[in-house]
């Protein structure tokens, strides 16, 4: 209720009305006037406009007027980039459709220029393979598609990590996986159920308050449903007005970074705290490419956190570590609850530079009993880019009471949408079997929200009603059998499946022999005690040991507390059994 909306992307004098009109049934009442478009172009040129968003009423039913306006604009002003809502989001709800179109138009020239330069530079360097771009729905797209619809790149980076989580879930047949990616600035989590990525079309961008809902511009494009938390290795710890330690969302980033980097950072961060607790090796950070200044980190924590609160430097460092874990646990717990999941049934798959270090403590707070840390965890998201399939999806409003649904006509629309998806994927010139997933958004008549019902076979009213009842009851806990429903949107996702990279079993062998030990903070004993230190590259399948232990590799460090049992599986992943009742 109290969220401050961001400033509009388009100033009022550049929101240009046009005297066209299309009825809600698609009938064109008034066509586009060329004279009005000419006048609009004159204003745009006078104002130096480089990109235009066209959003007319009811264009999701009949895009004729939008397309005519776009044609005239391109003819009169070819230097101006044009985006129509009928191409971006042919979907009911005027505000969301307009907002999505405006965001697309806002970044379109920049993204097209960037991708064009990148593509040209690679070609000039002799790189012959086509450039692919990760999309927010978990698939790969062409630079042409990404340039035309740059809003489909939103949050596409973190999605790569969720794709690896899904692949692990499929490989090991895990029913519920929580992918957890913690880097330098933020942490991202995604609950993957039944080995399928969760999709949402309720993103927000440019939030005035980064982690506050309704404080940004709505962007209604399909994207993997993840939660982002302002907690990372570079998150700054400070004492708030109540005298409590607060961690994040402000971050020191990579430059200047934490105090221990020695690059001018002056405020204590999570990484500084983890170093002081003995969890990080100051002489073997980032594969030994960087030495951390433990004395500087200690001095910063002591001066800014410990003394004002009457703590020792170690106690203050543990407070920072525990607070950031609690912050992440609270956000992830909400994410799991909203998805109808149960933490106790999930396997936490940890990656990112800081993810494995915090994974076991986070799992214990969430009452998750099983943690997996794949090989090369610190750079695992890069693998997600390589294993993602070429994919594209579209949505189209087709509103009708479910009881009166024309099954044949609806099926024909879905086929038409599938043909368009196939044509877009054909641009990629990629191999693989083309598979489609179809869905229908169904809700009670008059309701402003719907649930997406998967459609596996032919359009069948009774089957859709039964699926709607089951999904609605699962999500909301109730269902009204006597209230009529309606379909609102049709959805089609196409994927080129086959030939992706994957995990291969490793040669067995490799005893768990510690490379040494060092003192580190025990979460249970609240003191420093010896932890065995293992070299990750020497832990082969079948190796087993118990905590307390530290496992080091070039891209990440894994912390295992007392009582936790570790086994290396056939793919080289650390499988850690955590006691869910022993939260530190």
Q: What is the pLDDT along the chain (584 residues), one digit of tens a residue?
A: 566 778 889 999 999 999 999 999 999 999 999 999 999 999 999 999 999 999 999 999 999 999 999 999 999 999 999 999 999 999 888 999 999 999 999 999 999 999 999 999 999 999 988 888 999 999 998 899 899 999 999 888 889 889 999 999 988 999 999 999 998 888 999 999 988 888 888 888 776 565 566 668 888 888 999 888 888 999 999 999 899 999 988 899 888 899 999 999 899 999 999 999 999 999 988 877 889 999 999 999 999 999 999 999 999 999 999 999 999 999 999 889 888 788 888 999 999 999 999 999 999 999 999 999 999 998 888 888 888 888 999 999 999 999 999 999 999 999 999 999 999 888 787 788 899 999 999 999 988 889 999 998 899 999 999 999 999 998 888 999 999 999 999 999 999 887 666 788 888 777 788 999 999 999 989 999 999 999 999 999 999 999 899 999 999 999 999 889 999 999 999 999 987 565 55
Q: At 143, give phi and psi (nearest 5°).
A: -65, -30
298 falls within a domain: yes
173 falls within a domain: no
In terms of domains, do 319 and 395 share one? Answer: no
Give how far Cα 116 sits from Cα of 119, 150, 192, 414, 446, Å.
Answer: 5, 13, 35, 33, 45
In terms of domains, do 19 and 111 share one? Answer: yes
Measured distance CA(308)–CA(295) in Å, rounded: 19
Q: What is the pLDDT of residue 580?
A: 57
DSSP letter, residue 216? S
Strands (E), 445-570: 451-455, 485-497, 516-522, 527-535, 544-546, 549-552, 557-560, 565-568
Q: What are the structure tokens assigned to 317, written together?
A: 């460092």
Q: For the beta carbon of residue 200, count every other beta carbon within 10 angstroms.
A: 14
The residues near 139 (Cβ < 8 Å, ≥ 6 apart) are 388, 389, 390, 391, 392, 393, 495
DSSP-based helix, strand, coil % in the chain, nearest 5: 35, 25, 40
162 falls within a domain: no
In terms of domains, do 18 and 111 share one? Answer: yes
In terms of domains, do 18 and 118 share one? Answer: yes
In terms of domains, do 20 and 111 share one? Answer: yes
Q: What is the pLDDT of residue 214?
A: 63
253 falls within a domain: yes
Residue that is written with structure tokens 């971050």 in the block? 251
Q: What is the pLDDT of residue 427?
A: 79
Q: Which of 429, 462, 497 is the last residue of a domain?
A: 497
Q: What is the CA radius of gyration of the chain?
A: 26
147 falls within a domain: no
Q: What is the pTM of this model?
A: 0.86
Can you give the CATH number for the domain in which 489 is found? 3.30.1490
| Structural domain span for residue 297 | 235-323
Q: What is the pLDDT of residue 547?
A: 87
In terms of domains, do 40 and 118 share one? Answer: yes
Q: Which of 449, 465, 497 is the last residue of a domain?
A: 497
Q: Are 215 and 383 in contact (CB under 8 A)?
A: no
Q: Which of 75, 100, 122 is the last residue of a domain?
A: 122
240 falls within a domain: yes
In terms of domains, do 23 and 111 share one? Answer: yes
Closest CA to 134 of 153, 116, 115, 158: 153
In terms of domains, do 405 and 487 share one? Answer: yes
Measured distance CA(439)–CA(446) in Å, rounded: 20
Q: Are 202 and 220 in contact (CB under 8 A)?
A: yes
Helix (H, G, I), strand (E, B) or coil at 12: helix
30: exposed, middle or buried (Cβ count in 10 Å: 0-12, 13-18, 19+): exposed
The residues near 511 (Cβ < 8 Å, ≥ 6 apart) are 543
328 falls within a domain: no
In terms of domains, do 402 and 304 share one? Answer: no
Total structural domains in the chain?
A: 3
417 falls within a domain: yes
Q: What is the pLDDT of residue 452?
A: 93
In terms of domains, do 308 and 403 share one? Answer: no
């Amino acid at each position: 209720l109290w969220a401050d909306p961001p400033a509009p992307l388009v100033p009022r004098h550049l929101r240009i009305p046009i005297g066209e009109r299309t009825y809600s049934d698609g009938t064109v009442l008034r066509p586009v006037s060329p004279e009005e478009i000419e006048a609009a172009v004159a204003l745009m040129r006078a104002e130096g406009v480089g990109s235009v968003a066209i959003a007319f009423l009811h264009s999701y039913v009949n895009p004729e007027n939008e397309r005519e306006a776009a044609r005239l604009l391109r003819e009169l002003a070819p230097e101006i980039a044009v985006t129509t809502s009928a191409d971006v989001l042919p979907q009911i709800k005027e505000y969301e459709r307009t907002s999505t179109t405006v965001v697309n138009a806002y970044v379109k020239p920049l993204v097209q220029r960037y991708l064009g330069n990148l593509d040209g530079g690679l070609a000039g360097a002799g790189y012959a393979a086509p450039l692919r771009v990760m999309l927010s729905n978990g698939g790969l797209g062409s630079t042409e598609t990404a340039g035309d619809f740059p809003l489909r790149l939103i949050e596409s980076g973190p999605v790569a990590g969720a794709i690896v989580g899904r692949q692990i879930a499929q490989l090991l047949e895990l029913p519920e996986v929580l992918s957890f990616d913690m880097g330098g600035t933020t942490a991202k989590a995604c609950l993957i159920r039944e080995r399928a990525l969760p999709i949402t079309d309720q993103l927000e961008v440019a939030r005035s308050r980064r982690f506050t809902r309704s404080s940004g511009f709505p962007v209604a494009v399909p994207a993997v449903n993840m939660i982002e938390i302002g907690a990372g290795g570079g998150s700054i710890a400070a004492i708030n007005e109540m005298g409590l330690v607060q961690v994040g969302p402000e971050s020191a980033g990579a430059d200047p970074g934490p105090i221990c980097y020695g690059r001018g950072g002056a405020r204590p961060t999570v990484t500084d705290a983890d170093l002081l607790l003995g969890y990080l090796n100051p002489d073997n950070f980032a594969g030994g490419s960087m030495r951390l200044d433990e004395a500087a980190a200690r001095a910063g924590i002591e001066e800014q956190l410990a003394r004002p609160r009457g703590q020792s430097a170690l106690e203050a460092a543990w407070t920072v570590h525990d607070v950031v874990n609690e912050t992440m646990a609270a956000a992830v717990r909400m994410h799991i609850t909203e998805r109808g999941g149960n933490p106790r049934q999930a396997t936490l798959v940890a990656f990112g530079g800081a993810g494995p270090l915090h994974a076991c403590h986070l799992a214990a707070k969430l009452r998750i009993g099983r943690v997996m840390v794949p090989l090369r965890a610190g750079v695992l998201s890069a693998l997600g880019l390589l294993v993602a399939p070429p994919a594209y999806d579209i949505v189209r409003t087709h509103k009708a009471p479910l009881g009166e649904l024309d099954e044949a006509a609806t099926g024909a629309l879905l086929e038409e949408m599938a043909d368009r998806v196939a044509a877009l994927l054909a641009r990629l010139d990629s191999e693989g079997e083309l598979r489609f997933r179809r869905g229908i958004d169904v809700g009670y008549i008059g309701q402003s929200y719907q649930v997406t019902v998967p459609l596996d076979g032919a359009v069948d009213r009774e089957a859709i009603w039964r699926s709607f009842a089951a999904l609605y009851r699962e999500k909301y806990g109730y269902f009204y059998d006597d209230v009529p429903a309606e379909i609102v949107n049709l959805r089609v996702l196409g994927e080129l499946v086959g030939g992706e990279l994957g995990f291969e079993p490793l040669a067995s062998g490799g005893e768990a022999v510690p490379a040494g030990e060092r003192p580190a903070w025990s979460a249970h004993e609240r003191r420093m005690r010896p932890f065995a230190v293992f070299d990750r590259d020497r832990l082969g399948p079948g190796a087993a040991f118990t905590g307390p232990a530290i496992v080091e590799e070039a891209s990440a460090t894994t912390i295992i507390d007392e009582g936790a049992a570790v086994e290396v599986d056939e793919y080289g992943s650390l499988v850690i059994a955590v006691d869910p009742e022993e939260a530190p």
